Amino acid sequence: MSVGELLAATVPMARTLNLEFLETSAERAVVRLPDQADYHNHVGGPHAGAMFTLAESASGAIVLAAFGEQLSRAVPLAVKAEIAYRKLAKGVVTATATLGRPAAEVLAELDAGGRPEFPVAVHITRESDDAVTGEMTVVWTLRPNG
C-alpha cells in the first residue's frame, strides 16, 4: 500500500474531502482537492478549512514517506501550523509539500537521542493557472517511543 493509499484509508478527513494523493515520496508530496460544491465557501471556492486540511495532508504524506521506516521507534506529530491565504482559490486546488530540513539531518538528531523538529513547506495552487492561492508551514517532530 502506498503512503497516499494508507492516508486515504486511515484518515477520515482525507476520505471526507476526497483528497487525491498524486505523488508521495521523501522529496515531494502532491495532493489534489477536487472542486466540490459541498466544501465551497461564500465566494464559491474551497473553504479555508478544506484548504488547511489539504495542505496538512500533503505535509503528513511527505513526513510518512520520508520517515515511515522510523515508526517502530518514533511517532511523527505535527507541532504547529501556519497558513496564509494569498489569492482566491477556485476550482481544483493542489498542495505540494517539501521538507525544510534534509531527512538525514533529522534522523541524525533522532539517532543522537533528540526529538527533532523540522518544517514542511506547502504551496497550494489553482489547477487552472498554477497561481499560488496559499502557503503553509507545518512544523513536525519525531517523538521517540517509550
- Domain of residue 61, residue span: 3-144
Torsion angle defined by CA atoms of residues 31, 37, 38 and 44, in that order, rounded to the nearest 10 degrees: 90
Nearest to 87 by CA among 132, 30, 124: 132
Percent of the chain with pLDDT over 70: 100
Predicted pLDDT of residue 146: 75
| Band of pLDDT at residue 14, cut at 50, 70 and 90 | very high
pTM: 0.95
- 40: CATH: 3.10.129.10
Q: Mind listing the pLDDT tens digit for each residue in 73-83?
A: 999 999 999 99
Q: How many domains does the chain have?
A: 1
Predicted pLDDT of residue 57: 97
Q: Mind listing the pLDDT tens digit for each residue in 62-110?
A: 999 999 999 999 999 999 999 999 999 999 999 999 999 999 999 999 9
